[in-house]
Chains A and B, each alone.
Chain A
Amino acid sequence: MSLGRFCATIRGVLLHVNGDDHEVSAPDHWTLLEVLRYRLGLTGSKQGCDKGDCGACTVLLDGRPVISCLVLALEAVGHQVTTIEGLLPAHLAQGGSGADPLQVAFDRCGALQCGFCQSGMILSARALLKRNARPSETEVREALAGNLCRCTGYTQIVQAVALAVAEATGGALPPRAWEQPPEGA
């Protein structure tokens, strides 16, 4: 049984991350985020508030967005973990070229300043587009409601998702605020 807080039980943990199997050793009390960052070196998932408030550590667990600082590493065993590092290889494997279209759209729209929220934002958006290829702006905002950004004011982020949707579905891109003609023109 447990030796309490004074001695950690360390076990081998077999994680399936971004299509690869990784066997790492970690104590029971390590979170999925800690294993990703400090065992696997996948530092794209950010450690922000560490208590579920900010969404910077969002990863996909079987395609669904979760807060990896509140998921124990052992609880991710047997599930597919996708981090921001896995999007490009997954896109290539599906026959695409270059980065995931959402990553390209974030780049083109300048949907970041410091970039700390970006991996979480993109993964939340990726999960949304998987289950709903043509989300409305409200649906995009609701899907990203658990990801905080302190720089952009969210405008370009929502536009980046709209751009990715427009390119994937061949739909028209909604005009950007600064591209609309001034009133009365």
Chain B
Amino acid sequence: MLRLPRFALRQPTTLAEALALLAEAGPQARVLAGGTDLLPNMKHELFTPGVLVSLAGVTELRGVTVTEDGGLSLGAMTPLSELSQHPEVLARAPALAQAAGLVAGPQLRERGTLGGNVLLDTRCQYYNQTHFWRQALGFCLKKDGALCHVVEGGQRCVAAASADTQPALMSLGATVTLVGPGGARSLPVEGLLSTDGAKPHKIAPGEVLTRVHVPPTPTGHRGAYGKLRERGAIDFPLLGVAVRLDLDGAGLVAHGDVVVTALAARPKRVTGAGELLRGRALEGSGFAAGSAFATAVARVAELAARQCKALANVPGDHAWRSEMVPVMVRRTLLAAAEGRGPVHPG
């Protein structure tokens, strides 16, 4: 039995009220969204806030709207289940809908929110454990200790970004709106995430992530998300791959992007992938081995394998996870090209 540590719950109904409660409670407060990540972490005593400010009653933070420019404005408190089935999200940002639909299991997607997933704590097999377990090992860099058990002698926490929506949002060039006591600011998703696993988000105390904005995608936009995990549901990703292919009127790739997650604290964009994919023809040439597109995909997969090395930070054999990087990149690129997805073995 895992009990929650004691705290006082605040249930504001407006954003202004939530911000005031957060400011009043100061550093002992945390924001509660769906609770599917925060509450288990609190049960493991990874966080022991004195005050939780629940955003469940703040209705202005819910819902999906299409903006005037054809982009998407996604409320941070929109449940992942709603996001994964929303026709506008499926049409305009398929990789995001697929990623949201593969988070955890059905019940957790009912409660889990987009904002909560974007601000998901990084995960590590030496961190996501009970206090008793962590104490027996002398704690770790990320919480209460000075040792890293993943990288011997490591001075920087390498806990893994495990949110499925992060790489999808990065491939879509999405930005987030943070509202705090000093007003609102907007920054790209990759700007929100840091490379330090111990402090993975650059969100200031007292700030609330209110909306995620996805810029308009062109008519020829295709996207897919690939998730590697041991079971068909519930598990966090052992690898996550988000892919974007924007086709021009002639069926040539105008813009391509590949982002891989569950490696270290921040999802990794495969550098050079866009250049390899640009100008390749999808229509007509087919996806048969030897076609120009298939060759480009194979080279992107090689590039990803060189750039992405898995660490022993999340469960599963990290050598196998490294081997699976090119496999997942190739499968997800082909799925996106064919307008399929998600790629989800098992």
Residues of chain A touching chain B, judged by Cβ–Cβ distance below 8 Å, are: 1-9, 27-31, 47, 50-53, 55, 58, 61, 64-67, 70-72, 74-75, 124, 142-143, 145-148
Contacts and interface: CB of A to CB of B under 8 A. Distances in A.
A39 to B, nearest CB: 15
Contacts, number: 107
Contacts of A58: 107
B43 A28 contact: no
Interface in B105-154: 105-108, 110-111
Contacts of A147: 105
Interface string B21-36: 0001100100010011
Given A2-B28, A4-B6, A72-B35, A53 B234 contact: yes
Contacts of A70: 35-36, 39-40, 108, 111
Interface residues of B, number: 36
A101 B108 CA distance: 26
Contacts of A148: 234
25 contacts: A2-B50, A2-B51, A3-B8, A4-B7, A4-B50, A5-B6, A28-B7, A29-B6, A47-B1, A50-B1, A52-B104, A52-B108, A61-B110, A65-B107, A66-B111, A67-B107, A67-B108, A70-B36, A70-B39, A70-B40, A72-B32, A72-B54, A74-B11, A142-B106, A146-B233
Nearest to B5: A5
Interface centre among B48, B56, B108 (most CB of A within 10 A): B108
Given A7-B6, A70-B35, A72-B39, 20 more contacts: A1-B24, A2-B51, A3-B8, A4-B28, A5-B5, A5-B6, A6-B6, A8-B6, A29-B6, A29-B7, A51-B43, A52-B108, A61-B110, A65-B107, A65-B110, A67-B36, A67-B108, A70-B36, A71-B35, A75-B54
Contacts of A4: 6-7, 28, 50
A53 B111 CA distance: 14
B4 interface: yes
Contacts of B25: 1-2
Interface of B: 1-9, 11, 24-25, 28, 32, 35-36, 39-40, 43-44, 48, 50-52, 54, 56, 104-108, 110-111, 232-234
Contacts of B108: 52, 67, 70, 146
Nearest to A141: B232
Closest 9 CB pairs of A and B: A146-B105, A145-B233, A2-B8, A51-B40, A50-B2, A28-B9, A4-B50, A29-B4, A5-B6
B104 A146 contact: yes
A2 B51 CA distance: 7
Contacts of A53: 234
A70 B51 CA distance: 17
B106 A124 contact: yes
A72 B34 CA distance: 10
Given A4-B28, A66-B107, A67-B111, A74 B9 contact: yes
B111 A2 contact: no
Contacts of A146: 104-108, 233-234
Contacts of B110: 61, 64-66
A117 to B, nearest CB: 13
Contacts of B106: 65, 124, 142-143, 145-146
Contacts of A8: 6
A58 B232 CA distance: 19
B7 A55 contact: no
A6 B28 CA distance: 14
Interface centre among B7, B51, B52, B54 (most CB of A within 10 A): B7
A145 B9 contact: no
Given A1-B51, A29-B6, A67-B111, A145 B43 contact: no
A142 B107 CA distance: 11
A29 B1 CA distance: 14
Contacts of B6: 4-8, 27-29
A47 B56 CA distance: 24
Contacts of A7: 6
Contacts of B5: 5, 29
